[in-house]
Structure 1
């Protein structure tokens, strides 16, 4: 669940203006999970459809990230607005892997051999990568290694899974091929809450899957949990947290529930003020419990048990560009262009996009994207967003070295607004940092959208959910 797309911004979500000495009313705390900037709803068709060789020309290639997207799930959760489809009839997974291999070869050819090409991290996401059979997972790893050129045994490899698909044979393949992190989407250990989120699962099946993951010996286990489910209380939330902690996971992600268009819960119309209050209360309860248990807070969502090595860049922390995304739901990043395939949530639309992807013969061009830099305002916004949303904060010297300025000069109104709200740590400047306060971290999903540029806001507002 590490990729939750955002929907269009409305005027009320912009950072409100206020006069000197007057504190504006706080914006709604839950607007967007800003896991990437800009979001794919800001991407547009590229009229020139540049060749990937031109897109990657002059780009650093010595520490790339590699992401392979598998757009299949056995069921679709009620809250999910990721790019995925239910099931894969008539040999669709075979056709998809064949297309993935063609794309990997095209990208590797575009990267060329004039300079060394090396990958520093890899991830399989979705969808549910473990929807694939054990044999298909072997082939997926072969595509990453033999076609894209990543050495999976030498870099952190993160894989997402669901309880039903975390089987012994699949886990054995992943462990053997070098997986260092397995992220399991549990969301709730309370069966009634799972049903309310349209995620039918039995507690016993979840526990059995966790046992298999531990037996497989993959070094880092992450468990995803959701707060804000209808009927959820502090007691039931604490019950899920304690059930997760019993497995001593190296990482825990705590996600607020969102209700998005085109999802099973999309017709729900909650009392927004009451729901915001519930989610903030549950967030603080979960945060405080995990901190008391010795976990470190990495971001609003991510908590890590001290000791295990970091598994590549943390949330929002991919400051340098250079990500190769393979698959119809993946995005790729260079310093000048972010690009991907089409995006949708509606089942018929996603099926059509998957079918078009599997039928594609020529992957040598980028057709949809966002021109981000390297000059101008957007790279600064992206760097500020992705650093400030980390608990560690933004290094002012690093920012100045990259952009020749400081964040307060580039974003005076936004940062003054955050300071007025108590969202910034006033003592961090002494350590050369711009850092959020605990309350600022709690409001990450309001603070992030406040840093979106007018151009990105306009494109996102124009996007029609489908």
Structure 2
């Protein structure tokens, strides 16, 4: 049964130059109409559930959810709780841009039921933030974190990006040390991926975007392990580090390829072996909900073997890997027998480790994760 819910808020103050997500600036007049239609979609999801299970995790992402005032976000969360119910220890996350929150807003969010805050800092360098098109400063990021602590948030994650144009190992070290000095419970650190259709994608295609070379990025990866380890944050997934007890349960549900509800423009859900994506444009999304039309623009029904492979590949993102017994119970397939010589080769190269209970990527194989996953997909 489904125990996770993702709600997408597609609004932003401005569109960042690297962003390929479903996010739109300048649609302030659509806020209330959009929220009303998200509630309607959640009503439909709830009504379609044969068996209901209290939600273990809820995640409001974007976009930038906190371009909406906290009262609207709390009202949306209250609606979800009435429909689905929350477990007593549910993890309730909300993403925030440091430039869109203050002490009062954070207090209202915390009092309204959000207990995990994900701050999209990306960098503590003013030049790098300007280059990315972010709408906050390093001082605002620092102030937002401290205000969140004062508001009662005891589970704060910082999102950071590395491998940025013009970024050096030293500038990345400065950002990482600054972040660790704040003592967050969780860090998500993503290497920049330049996507087609973004301003960065256009610059790269025209030869006007210079990225750090592979050796520099590898050195940044090694620095992440070193400094986070010294600060007491353990790497539990390719891009994520946490203190004990603070792993992101919502994202682990994704990486284990378990089911999840989703509502809102651009949101993706997965249930009963079917993955569905909603229309990106919030205006189109609203029109369709109001007209009683489907909001689904893409639908993929996975075969058992495709779902098995996807579960293995997603699970190998985590340092714990995938549990063989769980794979057999869920799919009737064991990775050793299924992959055969392909897996034997990866084991012989010491890129993956196959134990009687688990399949996981080795520390040596971590730098070659993309190659490993491509072999197993």
Give CA deviations for 1:273-330 in whole Å, capped at 9, x if unaligned. 9633322221112122212322211011000122x44442444755363311010121
Q: Which residue of 2 aligns with 1:279?
A: 217
Q: Does 1:329 align with 2:255?
A: no
Q: Which residue of 1 aligns with 2:367?
A: 442
| Cα shift at 1:366 | 4.8
| Cα shift at 1:422 | 3.3
Q: Which residue of 2 aligns with 1:68?
A: 7
Query: Within 5 A, what are the aligned runs for 1:222-301?
Result: 222-269=157-204, 275-301=213-239
Change (3 A) 1:134 1:313: closer
Report how many residues are paired: 372
Give CA deviations for 1:379-425 in whole Å, capped at 9, x if unaligned. 11122012211001111222222222310222235424533543213
Helix, strand or coil: the match of 1:418?
helix
Q: Which residue of 2 aligns with 1:11?
A: none
Distance 2:259 2:214 in 1: 36
Helix, strand or coil: the match of 1:438?
coil
Structure 1 unaligned regions, length at least 5: 1-59, 344-352, 453-466
Judge which range, 245-254 or 353-362, deviates more.
353-362
| Cα shift at 1:143 | 2.5
Distance 2:128 2:223 in 1: 18
Q: Which has the higher strand share?
A: 2
Query: In the alignment, is the contact (CA less than 8 A) between 1:66 and 1:122 conserved in 2?
Result: yes
Helix, strand or coil: the match of 2:237?
coil
Helix, strand or coil: the match of 1:77?
coil
Give me the TM-score of the superposition, normalised by structure 1.
0.74
Give CA deviations for 1:328-380 in whole Å, capped at 9, x if unaligned. 1211111321112135xxxxxxxxx211111222266755210014xx31111
Distance 1:85 1:293 in 2: 37
Give CA deviations for 1:175-220 in whole Å, capped at 9, x if unaligned. 1122221111111101112222232532211111111111111121
| Cα shift at 1:443 | 2.9
Change (3 A) 1:365 1:243: closer
Helix, strand or coil: the match of 2:15?
coil
Distance 1:197 1:417 in 2: 41
Distance 1:447 1:316 in 2: 22
Query: Within 5 A, what are the aligned runs for 1:66-465?
Result: 66-89=5-28, 91-112=29-50, 115-146=51-82, 148-151=83-86, 154-269=89-204, 275-306=213-244, 308-315=245-252, 317-319=254-256, 321-343=258-280, 353-360=281-288, 361=290, 362=292, 366=296, 368-373=298-303, 376-425=304-353, 429=355, 432-452=357-377
Query: In the alignment, is the contact (CA less than 8 A) between 1:187 and 1:224 conserved in 2?
Result: yes
Distance 2:220 2:168 in 1: 8
| Cα shift at 1:447 | 3.2
Distance 2:199 2:282 in 1: 20
Question: Relative contact order: is structure 1 or structure 2 higher (C-alpha 8 Å, sep ≥ 6)?
Answer: 1
Distance 1:365 1:75 in 2: 25
Distance 2:346 2:132 in 1: 33
Query: In the alignment, is the contact (CA less than 8 A) between 1:65 and 1:122 conserved in 2?
Result: yes
Distance 1:294 1:398 in 2: 30
Distance 1:76 1:417 in 2: 44
Give me the TM-score of the superposition, normalised by structure 2.
0.91
Distance 1:126 1:447 in 2: 30
Structure 2 unaligned regions, length at least 5: none
Q: Which has the higher helix share?
A: 2
Query: In the alignment, is the contact (CA less than 8 A) between 1:106 and 1:363 conserved in 2?
Result: no
Instruction: Say what the alpha-carbon RMSD is for the aligned residues.
Output: 2.4
Helix, strand or coil: the match of 2:364?
helix
Change (3 A) 1:162 1:449: farther
Judge which range, 413-422 or 70-79, deviates more.
413-422
